[in-house]
A = this chain, B = another copy of it.
Amino acid sequence: MTLLDEDRLFPTDHGLRALARQLYDTVKDLPIISPHGHTDPRWYAEDQAFPDPAQLFVTPDHYVFRMLASQGVALTDLGVPRVDGGATETDGREIWRLFASHYHLFRGTPSRLWLDHSFQHVFGIDRRLSAETADWYYDHIADCLARPEFRPRALFERFNIEAISTTEPATDDLRWHRMIRDSEWNGRVITAYRPDGVIDPEMAEFADNVALMGEQTGFDTSTWAGYLDAHRARRAFFKEVGGATSTDHGHASARTEDLPHDEAEALFAKALAGTCSADEADAFRGHMLTEMARMSIEDGLVMQIHPGSRRNHNDAVMAAHGRDKGYDIPGRTDYVTALRPLLNAVGMDKRLTLILFTLDETSYARELAPLAGAWPCLRLGPAWWFHDSAEGMRRFREMTTETAGFYNTVGFNDDTRAFCSIPARHDVARRVDCAYLATLVGTGRLAEDEAHEVAHDLTYGLAKRAYKL
């Protein structure tokens, strides 16, 4: 018995399935390009063993623990840390048993595919997780984790990762990236410049972060000019020390502005003083996207916008456990009006690459494909987060390809903090893309030789080129 069907995610029609498999066979072993994600660089720097199965698979993965929470399981019983340092379950085995006894909740979800993929391919497991097999699983995985071939660097190599990007705040010291660079290990782990904490006036630590950026760069970040110079310096530092090729921006909306100098300067002063209204804070964030785009034209960093999440929907969970705990809920997101100021300021400059993501699938065919199918700077990031799934990817291709084609997209991003899910997620993307391409061929919309070329591009070439890797 195996956990995974060899032909999973392929079309069920016999001919299409054969063609999908044929396409997949040519791309399944290509190296992984992971240009956007949230793995911890410390793993690769220190190369310590992962502590236990629960801390590998349950406690850090908001896809996993939010599903259990949705059926009434307390986050503390899953070991999710408390902000106040209060008690949470620390016995990995107990957490694992709780997880295992709820494993049926994941039926039909991508988490189930990722977990089974990890269990089978990383840990060689051949039986289904359940309350009955929970202890066997725990012992087996714990035993593996103690061995050197399950350390982060060994897995990195086994996963055939050619390059992976982590994401660090603008004020990060990049110590782990330095440590990786200074080590004898040659895995390519790079960073991405994520300046939300020094751009969003509504973050509590905004002024402190800006001041820190001043100290780090020697610029007077109490002035608008100095603040912009400090960004330039930090971006250069991220490029040089962390190998960054991209920036990332996680605003609530895609709003951009292109304000006159005086207005931007005045807003910045208010932001520092903490006196921005909600709309002014939003305008400032929007204007900074345009400033970031201008800097990207100068320094070549590829820009990514990840809008649309209404963060921290659950006050109680936010108070007890902090951010990123499964209660970030998407909302409607406009791109057409929102991006216009930035695009009209810098959107025709060929040096700019701006990759758009969305949590609002209604924008695929209506807004994102028409925008990316016309503006030269724009590219579409892959199906993201809640849509990083077989159906989500299928809808992405079906709703964007006809207007934007394949060459205004950028391949796959795993965007994950769950290390073992990386090969699983890329495998899902490769299978779904091959299934889609086989369907196009089978319905006379693409020739077979073209499908092979496109399969390679979607798996490898587009990500590498778009992210300059």
Contact = CB atoms under 8 A, between A and B. Distances in A.
A72 interface: yes
Given A344-B315, A374-B329, A108 B444 contact: no
Nearest to A361: B365
A122 to B, nearest CB: 18
B447 A108 contact: no
A9 B442 CA distance: 9
A410 interface: no
A402 interface: yes
A403 to B, nearest CB: 5
Given A104-B450, A366-B331, A376-B71, A13 B13 contact: yes
Interface string A392-410: 1000001101111111100
Contact of A408 (B71, B371, B405): B71
Nearest to A3: B447
A402 B110 contact: yes
Interface residues of A, number: 92
A175 interface: no
Interface of A: 4-13, 15-16, 66-67, 69-72, 104-110, 112-113, 128, 310, 313-316, 326-332, 334, 336-337, 340, 343-344, 347-348, 350, 359-362, 365-367, 369-376, 378, 386-387, 389-392, 398-399, 401-408, 439-440, 442-447, 450, 453-454
Given A331-B337, A362-B366, 11 more contacts: A10-B443, A70-B372, A108-B454, A109-B402, A314-B374, A316-B348, A327-B375, A331-B366, A362-B362, A391-B398, A391-B399
Closest 9 CB pairs of A and B: A8-B444, A5-B444, A389-B402, A108-B401, A72-B376, A66-B374, A12-B442, A12-B13, A329-B370
